[in-house]
């Protein structure tokens, strides 16, 4: 994880049934972005949105590595 941005849009009251969605939205040579959102079930506006900037890294090599094909294949740009 290179960086993480979390935006809270409004409060959720207990009890609440929540739905979570996420997707890979950008792929570079050694990094990729994932977005996510949390929704109250059957609502359109998210209560929370996030952006995760991920770095492909090998702890064995102790260096960055190319983004794996499985990540590339699952990228769904907005």
Please state, as a whole number, how many other Cβ atoms lie within 10 Å of the Cβ of residue 5.
Answer: 10
Q: Where are the domains of the chain?
A: 3-73
Look at the pTM and tell me if it is higher than 0.85.
Answer: yes
Taking alpha carbons only, the member of 15, 74, 10 closest to residue 37 is 10
What is residue 78's predicted lDDT score, i.e. its pLDDT? Answer: 84
Query: Dmax of the chain from CA atoms?
Result: 46
* pLDDT (tens digit per residue) in 18-67: 999 999 999 999 999 999 999 999 999 999 999 999 999 999 999 999 99
- The highest-level CATH class for domain 3-73 is alpha beta
């Amino acid at each position: 994880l290179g960086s993480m941005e979390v935006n809270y849009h409004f409060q959720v009251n207990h009890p609440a049934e929540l739905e979570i969605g996420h997707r890979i939205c950008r792929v570079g040579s050694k990094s990729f972005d994932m977005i996510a959102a949390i929704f109250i079930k059957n609502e359109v506006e998210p209560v929370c949105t996030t952006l995760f900037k991920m770095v492909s890294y090998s702890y064995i090599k102790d260096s960055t590595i190319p983004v794996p094909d499985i990540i590339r294949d699952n990228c769904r740009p907005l």
